Every structure is written in structure tokens, then in C-alpha cells.
Amino acid sequence: MKSKFIKCTVYCFIVFIFNGTHYSAFGQLKSKIIDKTDQIFTSKRYKQSITERDDLCGKVKVLRIDSVAKEKTIETKENEIKELKEKNQKQKQAYNDLLNSSLTEAEKLHLALKNKNNELEEKENLLKEREIKLSEMQALINRQDSITKALNNLVKNALLGFNSDELSIETKNGKVYVSLSDKLLFKSGSASVENKGQEALNKLSQALERNNEIDILIEGHTDNIPIKTSIYKDNWDLSTARATSIVRILTENYKLDAKKVTAAGKSEFFPKASNETPEGRSKNRRTEIILSPKLEELMKIIQP
């Protein structure tokens, strides 16, 4: 718009100066001026266009360079984003794996603790059961001791009239042992019970007749001096015959339950003392009456 305004102004100025001039000459001059003016303006516009074009090309180049740089930047950012996504995915996977692993370990630990608790509970229950059994056994032992002591006192009181070298009474392993010497019961080499021995057996049977649940074991013992007679082949025969003789007296004469009485011959093989001296051999020639009370019946013994 500015160049057109200048061009029109120049045209008007030329017309004003050369007004009245011969039309032909004026026409030629006018044409030259116009041509020259057009050349001037055309050249200026061209240069301006060239400048504008160059400027635009420079801007386009800058824009292209900037666009390429931005595209590279965008591509770099996209790659970074991709890497970050991949890294994030890996981290998520690692986290999930760790979480699953932790859960698995926690489950294993929980299961182990549960099994341990169950095992401890079983052991505690077993320990309680054992404690109850031990308590029951201790109570049973205490009752056994109490009853055995009462039985021991009962037998001692029944046999008070006899000397210590004729019989002895002791408590061992919950049983009462009445040891009757050979001097009290038998003559040498005989299985027939003497009168004083029968008196002792009578008193003993009277103490036991109200307690039929007591098991009675009769053991015959000898010294190591060999014996051989028309009746007894050896000490086995003699010890067994003496035990059997006492069993018959207790069951037949004094009516003790034969099912509760047992006879056994021990011969010379369970000595109480050395067989090297007469005193020792005298102690070994004995008959032992072993009383084994049954627990369920023992309370009858200590009742008033």
C-alpha cells in the first residue's frame, strides 16, 4: 500500500510539471519516467521480496532446525519415557515378586509357627497327662507304702512272742517279708513243721484270714551243704518240700485261699549270708513268706 501511494504521488507531480507540454513528447517522457519508476520500484520490490524471502527462508530454516531439534528432543523424551515405563514395569514386577516371596515366606513362617504351637500344645498335653499319671502313681505309691506299713505292723503284732533269731519281718519293694528260721520250723534234713513253727503259722494265718486278696509266696531256702537221703535227692528237693509243707498247713489247716498261695524251692542259690561260717549257713536255712497285697483290697487292712 505504501509503494502504491508513492507511485501515484510521483505520477501526479509529473503531470503537474509538464502540463501543457506537447502531448507526444510528454507521452514519451512520461513513458520513460514511468518505465524508470517501474524499474526503480520493481527493483526495490524485488529486493524487498528477496530480502523477505531470504528472511522467510532463514526463519523456515531456523524453524526446520528447531523442529528437527524438537523432534529429536521429543524422540529422546519418548525413549526416556519408554525406558522409564520399562523400568517401572520391571520395578513393579520385582515388587510383585518380592511381595509374593514375602507372602510365601510369611505363610511358611506362619505354618511353621502353627505347627510349632501344635507341637508345643501336644507336648503340654502330654506333659499334663504324665503329671497326672505321676501324681496318680505317687498317690498309689503313698497308699501302697501306707498299706504295706499297716500290713507289716499287723504281722509284727501277730508274731510278737517269737525271738529275733527265730523270725524276722521287713518291708521291701511294697511287700512284707516274713523270714522263718530253720530252727523254728524244721529239724535238720526234714520238711515236717515243728509245733512252735505251726504256732507261728497259725498266728500269721489269723492275721491274714480277713485279707484274702493278699498273694502269698512261700520260698524254701537251704545252705550249700549237699544233702542226699532216701526222700530228698538234693537241696532243691528239700527246699521245695519245705515250702510245699507250709503251703499245705496254711491252706488245709488254716483255710487260706489256695489260689492265693504259691510254693517255690530256691535251694542254696539265694543266700542271705556267707556259707563259709556256721552262723551264715544258719541264716541261709530259712523259709520266707512273702506277702504282696493288692492295692484295691489293701484299704481293708488299715480300716479301724
Q: Residues 73-108: pLDDT tens digits? A: 888 888 888 888 888 888 888 877 776 776 677 777
Task: Indicate whether 249 belongs to any domain.
Answer: yes
Task: Indicate whether 142 belongs to any domain.
Answer: no
Please write the tens of the pLDDT for every residue from 258-275. Answer: 989 999 999 999 999 999
Higher pLDDT, residue 4 or 195: 195
Q: Does residue 172 sit in the same domain as residue 289?
A: yes
Domain endpoint, select from 68, 98, 118? 118
Tally of domains within the chain: 2
Q: Does residue 201 sit in the same domain as residue 280?
A: yes
Q: Does residue 292 sit in the same domain as residue 186?
A: yes
Average pLDDT for 213-230? 92
Instruction: Flag whether pLDDT at 13 surpasses 50.
Output: yes
For the question of whether the overall pTM of this predicted structure is more than 0.85, the answer is: no
Please write the tens of the pLDDT for every residue from 224-245. Answer: 999 988 999 999 999 999 999 9
Instruction: Flag whether pLDDT at 147 surpasses 70.
Output: yes
Domain limits for position 227: 159-302
Task: Indicate whether 137 belongs to any domain.
Answer: no
- Single-letter amino acid, residue 13: F
Confidence class of residue 135 from pLDDT cuts 50, 70 and 90?
confident
Contacts of residue 205, Cβ cutoff 8 Å, sequence gap at least 6: 250, 254, 255, 256
Task: Indicate whether 15 belongs to any domain.
Answer: yes
Instruction: Flag whether pLDDT at 18 surpasses 60.
Output: no
Q: Could you give the C-alpha distances from 97 to 86, 88, 91, 101, 112, in angstroms and in order?
A: 16, 14, 10, 6, 22
Q: Could you give the C-alpha distances from 29 to 4, 37, 69, in angstroms and in order?
A: 21, 12, 57
Task: Indicate whether 22 belongs to any domain.
Answer: yes
Highest mean pLDDT among 104-108, 162-166, 178-182: 178-182
Domain endpoint, select from 118, 143, 169? 118
Higher pLDDT, residue 22 or 49: 49
pLDDT of amino acid 15: 54
- Single-letter amino acid, residue 279: E
Task: Indicate whether 95 belongs to any domain.
Answer: yes
Q: Which of 56-60, 78-82, 129-133, 265-269 has the lowest mean pLDDT?
A: 56-60
CB atoms within 10 A of CB 230: 5
Task: Indicate whether 36 belongs to any domain.
Answer: yes
Percent of the chain with pLDDT over 70: 81
In angstroms, the first-to-last Cα distance of the chain is 150
Task: Indicate whether 151 belongs to any domain.
Answer: no
CA–CA dist 89, 95 (Å, integer): 10
Domain endpoint, select from 59, 92, 118? 118
Average pLDDT for 268-291? 94
Q: Which of 140-144, 154-158, 286-290 has the lowest mean pLDDT?
A: 140-144
